[in-house]
């Protein structure tokens, strides 16, 4: 809902304007604020995870897409249109500048950079040909046989997103939980609401578990000891699979899972090293895990009332 309201407002005029970096940054911040409100990830949770959970592109990427589509729109306008003739003249100028290596700041050169970034530099030309003389939609999406520009662009955007995740300390765990790019289905209204937020926070390692807090505060400054059971290294796995504090709730969760998951698969999963990440990512057991998380965090917060 927030996205529906915000996006047209923020992207209005994006086709032609070149926003200064600080302004783009400000818009990105507003978008992230909305994203945090939807996912429940706190202010210090990874921004790249907020975008990942929602399947949102950055504002910069959205603006680049709007510009590329507008470029195609201009290219295919009839020659009788004034704006098309201006486009042609500007592109001729830009071409000359480029060949003479005397590039002046202009919309046309911004377009060249964008298309180059996405590996479609061959698209930077004013001429219509058999392939590009189609509607914006067709050019972007392609048709059954021929692939559109979209495919290359989105592939590149995904690569960039993955690279950004991998640069984060908490990125490795997040990637174990995040199987593919796109909006996560668990963000729907099914199941426990509080459990949903805890699920997002556990996936992004943005929950106040002792081992996570210790990794944030550096060595020696905090203990990774679980204040519920006293064992060291209280992380996601500890809460989901090990801690004595939630034994009864866990038994209920496991019994419910066993009733819905294929028995052979469940047997394999139980010995898997990544069972915790599976619990935080499987669609099949989504509501069961949300319920457990709500219960476990209620118990935990009762033990440790002062933690955030
Ligand atoms: Zn414990």
User: pLDDT of 181-235, one tens digit each?
Assistant: 999 999 988 889 999 999 999 999 999 999 999 988 866 667 899 999 999 999 9
Predicted local distance difference test score (pLDDT) of residue 14:
63
Looking at the fold, whether 64 and 3 belong to one and the same domain comes out as: yes
- Cα 274 to ligand 1 centroid, rounded to whole Å: 19
Is residue 112 in some structural domain? yes
Predicted local distance difference test score (pLDDT) of residue 20:
78
User: pLDDT of 237-288, one tens digit each?
Assistant: 999 999 999 999 999 999 999 999 999 999 999 999 999 999 999 999 999 9
Neighbours of 22 (CB within 10 A): 7
- Cα 161 to ligand 1 centroid, rounded to whole Å: 34
Is residue 222 in some structural domain? yes
Question: What's the helix, strand, coil split of the chain in %, to 5?
Answer: 65, 0, 35
- Cα 36 to ligand 1 centroid, rounded to whole Å: 28
Q: For residue 131, name the pLDDT band (cuts at 50, 70, 90).
A: confident
Q: Is the pLDDT of residue 302 over 80?
A: yes
- Cα 74 to ligand 1 centroid, rounded to whole Å: 62
- Cα 157 to ligand 1 centroid, rounded to whole Å: 39
- Cα 25 to ligand 1 centroid, rounded to whole Å: 41
Looking at the fold, whether 219 and 275 belong to one and the same domain comes out as: yes
Looking at the fold, whether 153 and 33 belong to one and the same domain comes out as: yes
- Cα 197 to ligand 1 centroid, rounded to whole Å: 21
- Cα 205 to ligand 1 centroid, rounded to whole Å: 17
pTM value is 0.87
Is residue 247 in some structural domain? yes
Q: Is the pLDDT of residue 37 over 60?
A: yes
Average pLDDT, the chain: 91
Range of the domain at 217: 185-303
Is residue 36 in some structural domain? yes
With vertex at residue 263, the alpha carbon angle to CA 260 and CA 264, rounded to the nearest 5 degrees, is: 140
Q: What is d(CA 64, CA 208) in angstroms, rounded to the nearest whole number?
A: 37
Looking at the fold, whether 221 and 279 belong to one and the same domain comes out as: yes
Looking at the fold, whether 278 and 133 belong to one and the same domain comes out as: no
Q: Is the pLDDT of residue 147 over 60?
A: yes
Looking at the fold, whether 96 and 229 belong to one and the same domain comes out as: no
Looking at the fold, whether 193 and 55 belong to one and the same domain comes out as: no
- Cα 241 to ligand 1 centroid, rounded to whole Å: 10
- Cα 263 to ligand 1 centroid, rounded to whole Å: 28
Q: For residue 78, name the pLDDT band (cuts at 50, 70, 90).
A: very high
CA atoms within 13 A on the CB side of 227: 16
Which token pair is 167? 């640069």
Looking at the fold, whether 74 and 135 belong to one and the same domain comes out as: yes
Looking at the fold, whether 30 and 144 belong to one and the same domain comes out as: yes
Contacts 24+ apart (CB under 8 A), 150-154: 152/118, 152/119, 152/120, 153/64, 153/65, 153/68, 153/118, 153/120
- Cα 191 to ligand 1 centroid, rounded to whole Å: 25
- Cα 109 to ligand 1 centroid, rounded to whole Å: 58
Is residue 180 in some structural domain? no
- Cα 250 to ligand 1 centroid, rounded to whole Å: 13
- Cα 289 to ligand 1 centroid, rounded to whole Å: 18
Is residue 21 in some structural domain? yes
- Cα 210 to ligand 1 centroid, rounded to whole Å: 10
Q: For residue 26, name the pLDDT band (cuts at 50, 70, 90).
A: confident
Looking at the fold, whether 105 and 222 belong to one and the same domain comes out as: no
């Amino acid at each position: 809902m927030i996205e529906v309201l915000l996006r047209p407002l923020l992207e209005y005029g994006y086709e032609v304007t070149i926003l200064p970096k600080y302004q783009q940054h400000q818009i990105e911040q507003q978008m992230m604020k909305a994203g945090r409100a939807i996912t429940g990830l706190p202010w210090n949770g990874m921004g790249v995870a907020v975008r990942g959970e929602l399947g949102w592109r950055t504002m910069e990427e959205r603006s680049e897409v709007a510009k590329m589509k507008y470029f195609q729109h201009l290219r295919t306008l009839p020659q009788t249109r004034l704006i098309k003739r201006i486009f042609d003249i500007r592109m001729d100028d830009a071409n000359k500048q480029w060949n003479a290596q005397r590039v002046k700041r202009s919309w046309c050169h911004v377009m060249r950079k964008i298309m180059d970034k996405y590996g479609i530099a061959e698209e930077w030309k004013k001429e219509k040909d058999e392939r590009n003389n189609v509607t914006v939609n067709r050019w972007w999406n392609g048709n059954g046989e021929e692939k559109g520009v979209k495919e290359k662009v989105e592939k590149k955007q995904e690569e960039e997103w993955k690279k950004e995740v991998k640069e984060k300390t908490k990125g490795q765990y997040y990637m174990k939980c995040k199987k593919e790019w796109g909006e996560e289905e668990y963000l729907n209204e099914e199941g426990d609401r509080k459990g949903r937020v805890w699920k997002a926070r556990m996936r992004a390692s943005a929950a106040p578990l002792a081992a996570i807090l210790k990794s944030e505060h550096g060595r020696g400054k905090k203990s990774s000891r679980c204040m519920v059971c006293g064992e060291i290294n209280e992380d996601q796995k500890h809460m989901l699979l090990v801690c004595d504090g939630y034994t009864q709730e866990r038994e209920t969760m496991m019994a419910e899972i066993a009733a819905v998951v294929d028995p052979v698969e469940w047997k394999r999963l139980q010995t898997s090293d990544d069972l915790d990440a599976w619990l935080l990512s499987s669609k099949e057991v989504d509501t069961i895990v949300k319920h457990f998380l709500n219960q476990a965090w209620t118990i935990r917060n009762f033990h440790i009332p002062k933690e955030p």
